[in-house]
Amino acid sequence: MIKQVPAQALKAGMYIHDLNCDWMSHPFVRTRFRLEADEQIQTILGAGIHEVYIDTAKGLDVPDAPTATEVREQVLEEVRAIAAKAPPPNARVDLAAEMGRAAKIRSEATRVVKNVMEDVRLGKAVEMDRMAPLVESITGSIMRNSGALVSMLSIKTADDYTFEHCVSVCTLMVAFSRSLGLDTEATREAGLGGLVHDVGKMKTPAEVLNKAGRFTDAEFAIMKRHPEDGHAILKETTGIGETPLSIALAHHERMDGSGYPFRLMPAQIPEVVRMASIVDVYDAITSDRCYHKGMSPTEALGKIFEWSKFHFDPHLVQAFTHCIGIYPTGTLVRLESGRLGVVTEQHERNLLTPVVKVFFSTRSMSYVTPETVDLSKKMGAGGADRIVNHESPEKWQIDVRRFM
């Protein structure tokens, strides 16, 4: 049985099933292992990990600890309650009309970011006059229909992950800023900060940055230099603002003082940096990497919410949930009727009842004529259909973009 226990309660003989943090927050080569010595426990505590999951079938038990299933259901219930009260951003144009334009914007942004950052690797300065227009294009797409670009966040390739991640963080920072009501200039600076937040990784040796597996302790220490390296690079950039500088330097800081590079406390972390830390982790844990399978957006929001007890600003986590939605546009969902569909539009008053385009029946195991269903409306005598779970497109071998 998998159970959640406080890190302070760990003892030798327990079996760690999940360290319960994003991969850049712990130094262990493995994520599942038996605790053999107190030094391992001190390393866990030193990494700012407050709660872990243990496997009682492989090690010592804690009788009164909640199970992973109990924790997950409680967290998702709280996230659903937040989502039910959240109005989504207005969409000015239809999703289908924006998808093609959004795909071109994302492709061009990734290309430019890759070229600019590879120039940085060669010792050149960051060309802000090439980066700033990307933020304007991304902002324009978000304003027309945020769901289009957001639905593409998980589309990343191994070779270009760092650059695509920067574009994704920029996209989410713009959407987040607009949902919080920030003005045009603040939104632009937040987006620009997202675009350049990982520029310091261009100083990370390629064999470490692109390693197909977990880091050794030495490699982990090298990787953790990138915030300071990025800040130093950007300090030499003409016209850079304080917001991008702060985001590059402090996006790995945490609210409990366990982050890096300076272990800052909450009063020392600007709100926009707190936003960036949430966005950065959300995009990372929803992305497929060689060492972990990306979570669904719903699972990722649950984890961010769970970690907000210690690592993130709880109020901003709630606001981010309002912004992104528990079932973001592009999410494959299973309905109570047994049909599968892709979320194409958020409901104006309740993020739990989006508009879904259904196209597959799990009962007949066959495709059906695509139909757009507004889950906020009744379905005749049988009552309203509803989402019972998110689904993996890979499991069903479905390309959801065909139906958006």
Residues 305 and 339 in one domain: no
CATH no. for residue 147?
1.10.3210.10
Euclidean distance between CA atoms 106 and 148, whole angstroms: 10
Residue with tokens 């050149």: 124
Give the chain's domain count: 3
Euclidean distance between CA atoms 141 and 135, whole angstroms: 10
Task: Provide the pLDDT confidence category of residue 210 given band limits of 50, 70 and 90.
Answer: confident
- Secondary structure element (H or E) that encloses residue 303, with its range: helix 297-307
Shortest CA distance to 23 belongs to which of 224, 323, 271? Answer: 224
pLDDT by residue (tens digit) across 188-204? 999 999 999 999 999 99
Residues 318 and 350 in one domain: no
Asked if the structure places residue 241 within a domain, the reply is yes
85 pLDDT more than 80: no
Euclidean distance between CA atoms 247 and 183, whole angstroms: 18
Residues 178 and 259 in one domain: yes
381 pLDDT more than 50: no
Task: Provide the pLDDT confidence category of residue 82 given band limits of 50, 70 and 90.
Answer: confident
Amino acid at 124: K
Q: Where in the sequence is the domain holding 11, given as residue range(s)?
A: 2-66
Residues 24 and 148 in one domain: no
Residues 279 and 206 in one domain: yes
Residues 363 and 397 in one domain: yes
185 pLDDT more than 80: yes
Residues 311 and 341 in one domain: no
Could you tell me how many residues make up the chain?
A: 404
Supply 221's token pair: 């220490």
Whether the model clears a pTM of 0.75, i.e. scores above it, the answer is yes
Kindly state the percentage of the chain with pLDDT values over 70.
96
Asked if the structure places residue 320 within a domain, the reply is yes
Asked if the structure places residue 160 within a domain, the reply is yes
What sign for the dihedral angle of Cα 153, 49, 322, 185? negative
80 pLDDT more than 90: no
What is the rounded radius of gyration, in angstroms, for the C-alpha atoms of the chain? 21
SS3 helix, strand, coil % of the chain, rounded to 5?
50, 10, 40
Asked if the structure places residue 101 within a domain, the reply is yes
